[in-house]
Amino acid sequence: MVISGLLVYGAGTLGGPSTALGLTLTWLLVGPLIPPPTPDMAPLIFRVRRPRPEEQAALIPAWHNVAQLARVHAGDYSLWVQDTRDVNALSAPGRIVAVTGWAIAALGPRELEAVLAHELGHHLGGGQRAHMLAYWYGLPVALIRTGYRKITWLFAVFVAQAAHIVGFVALLRLFGVRKAMDVICFAVLTPTRALVFVAAVIGAATMFAIPAAVIAAAALLAEPFAKQAQRRWSEIRADAVAVDLGYGQQTHTVLDLWLRRVSTRREPGPLARLLDSHPPIETRLRAVRARVETSGCVIPPPRSG
């Protein structure tokens, strides 16, 4: 939020100090007033669609069972489907609940209820309103980061195309380099992004002060890690809600099934884990087992083979 505020203030300085201050205060005050998206906006913001009739036949009774257990009104939420082969889809501000087409087709009724209970868990406790505020106050940084990535990527593609024209790509291929264009792009991309980042820090130092620029740069680097850590924690919390609603064994079954499906994938590295929005499935399974044990229930051990 501090970095976003500095960015808004910096943009406002183009119109003078008073404009910069007014723009920053307006940005701060508008955040809590922004309404959540309406259900009709869901397909415009997220990659979701309305359930098909056969999907509704499975979703509606499952959702009503979960809502009854959670003591919420089922009609206050809108149900959507995301066409992915993952287990979990998304929940979003505006009481939007989405599940994956794979979950509807592959899971039994109680397991589907467990997935819906997990998504509902993201909504309970006011987390979605906090998500809206985090989105608004992080928007300036997100826009800068998106522009930064696109501009540096276009520059890398331009260099790769120039190398292709002068014959450097053909030379790399002679030496057995596969996908030479991609190799050149990524070879140019990393130092380019580093140079742009350093230039931005120097620019901020001249505009504000060196200590402020260093703090902003450190916060900018740390922000993605902190954001993803919060998301990983919210996944554990949503699993706990599903367990507390009585879906402990079913949540464990779904996660165990998911673990088997992804077991052939390559293990992510330490950096990829820190930037992942979901905790490792093994971590979620341990948390679910611990939550179930505190309630006095027992989950059968995972099947082998």
Q: What dihedral angle (degrees, nearest 10) is formed by the CA atoms of 85, 81, 101, 239?
A: 70
pLDDT of residue 210: 57
Per-residue pLDDT band at 288 (split at 50, 70, 90)? very high
User: Of 197, 194, 214, whose CA–CA distance to 205 is shortest?
Assistant: 214
Amino acid at 203: G
Residue 76 to residues 9, 27, 71, 94, 259, Cα–Cα distance (Å): 39, 30, 12, 9, 32
Write the CB contacts of 130 (distance below 8 Å, at least 6 apart in sequence).
none
pLDDT higher than 60, residue 183: no
- Tell me, what's the pLDDT at 284? 92
Burial class of residue 276, CB neighbours in 10 A (0-12, 13-18, 19+): middle
Mean pLDDT score, 293-299? 69
In this structure, of 113-117, 189-193, 257-261, the range with the lowest mean pLDDT score is 189-193
**pLDDT confidence of 224, banded at 50, 70, 90?**
confident
- Report the 3 state secondary structure along the chain: CHHHHHHHHHHHHHHCHHHHHHHHHHHHHHHHHCCCCCHHHHHHHCCCECCCHHHHHHHHHHHHHHHHHHCCCHHHCEEEEECCCCCEEEEECCCEEEEEHHHHHHCCHHHHHHHHHHHHHHHCCCHHHHHHHHHHHHHHHHHHHHHHHHHHHHHHHHHHHHHHHCCHHHHHHHCCCCCHHHHHHHHHHHHHHHHHHHHHHHHHHHHCCHHHHHHHHHHHHHHHHHHHHHHHHHHHHHHHHHHHHHHHHHHHHHHHHHHHHHCCCCCCCHHHHHCCCCCCHHHHHHHHHHHHHHCCCCCCCCCCC
At 29, the pLDDT band (50, 70, 90 cuts) reads confident
Segment 53-67 mean pLDDT: 94
Q: Mean pLDDT check: name the lowest of 8-17, 98-107, 158-167, 240-249.
A: 158-167
Count of alpha carbons within 13 Å of 282, Cβ hemisphere only?
A: 3
pLDDT at 305 over 50: no
Mean pLDDT along residues 11-30: 81
Average per-residue pLDDT for the chain:
77
pLDDT at position 251 over 90? yes
Contact 97, 73 (CB under 8 A): no
Interval 12-31 mean pLDDT: 82
Kindly report the number of other CB atoms within 10 A of residue 216's CB atom: 21
| Residue 170 CB neighbours (<10 A) | 11
pLDDT over 90 (residue 109): yes
Average pLDDT for 226-250: 88
Stronger pLDDT, 206 or 248, i.e. the higher one: 248
Residue 81 has pLDDT above 50, yes or no: yes
Q: Percent of the chain, pLDDT > 70?
A: 67
283 or 171, which is more confident? 283
Tell me: pLDDT of 283 over 70.
Answer: yes
